[in-house]
């Protein structure tokens, strides 16, 4: 996809009242808030200052997978604090690229060092669905690196012979002899 501008600003797509919690909330309280409002992330604030973000992934990796008690883990312990941010005047395409390049799906929106909103992948896709291609490509590439090799039957795309053990190598299905 070329460097195309959509003409739609982050301001046009962002949420102006995202769900927020304080740093002393427990992981359980955060999870209940996320469920109540059907959101995949929650901002952690102190007054009007955003200090971090907690996503569903943080809950799984930092609480559940580590067998920690969600009633005892505090938001400040699991929040991500090195936040990427975007300004409200940026084109949503630029925001999408930032998300893709940094493997994130949520961006706090900041104007003159003041938090003014929150932009998620869902917000962008509601307005500009064709940007979905960028997301799909990123996910596909990431999954290719982690998927186990799978043998198939068919014609080898290198020599043309039939094989019961074709593997995809460099984008081509190859038999054992051609690998």
pLDDT tens profile 3-40: 557 788 999 999 988 899 999 999 999 999 999 999 99
3-class DSSP state for residue 58?
A: helix
Q: Where does the pLDDT of residue 2 fall: very low under 50, low under 70, confident under 90, or very high at 90 and above?
A: very low
Please give the distance of CA 14 from its chain centroid, rounded to a whole number.
16
Task: Specify whether 101 is located in the same domain as 35.
Answer: yes
Q: 0.95 exceeded by the pTM?
A: no
69 φ, ψ to 5°? -80, 115
Q: Are 78 and 42 in contact (CB under 8 A)?
A: no
Reported confidence tier of residue 1, pLDDT bands at 50, 70, 90: very low
Q: Is residue 114 part of a domain?
A: yes
Q: What is the DSSP letter of 147?
A: S
Residues 173 and 119 in one domain: no
Give the domain range for residue 26.
10-143
Q: Strands of 1-145 (E only): list them.
A: 20-22, 41-46, 49-55, 106-111, 114-120
**Based on the domain organization, do 24 and 57 belong to the same domain?**
yes
Same domain, yes or no, for 90 and 154? no
Is residue 178 domain-shared with residue 125, that is, in the same domain?
A: no
Q: Domain for residue 4, yes or no?
A: no
């Amino acid at each position: 996809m070329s460097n195309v501008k959509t003409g739609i600003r982050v301001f046009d797509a962002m949420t102006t009242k995202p769900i927020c919690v304080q740093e002393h909330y427990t992981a359980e309280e955060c999870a209940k808030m996320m469920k109540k409002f059907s959101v995949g992330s929650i901002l952690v604030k102190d007054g009007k200052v955003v200090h971090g973000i907690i996503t569903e992934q943080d809950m799984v990796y930092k609480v559940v997978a580590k067998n920690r008690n969600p009633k005892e883990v505090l938001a400040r312990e699991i929040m991500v604090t090195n936040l990427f941010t975007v300004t409200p005047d940026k084109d949503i395409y630029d925001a999408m690229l930032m998300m893709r390049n940094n493997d994130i799906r949520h961006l706090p929106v900041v104007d003159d060092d003041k938090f003014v909103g929150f932009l998620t992948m869902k917000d962008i896709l509601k307005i500009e669905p064709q940007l979905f291609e960028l997301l799909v490509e990123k996910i596909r590439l990431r999954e290719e690196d982690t998927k186990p090799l799978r043998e198939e039957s068919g014609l080898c795309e290198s020599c043309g012979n039939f094989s019961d053990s074709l593997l995809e190598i460099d984008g081509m299905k190859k038999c054992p002899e051609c690998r």
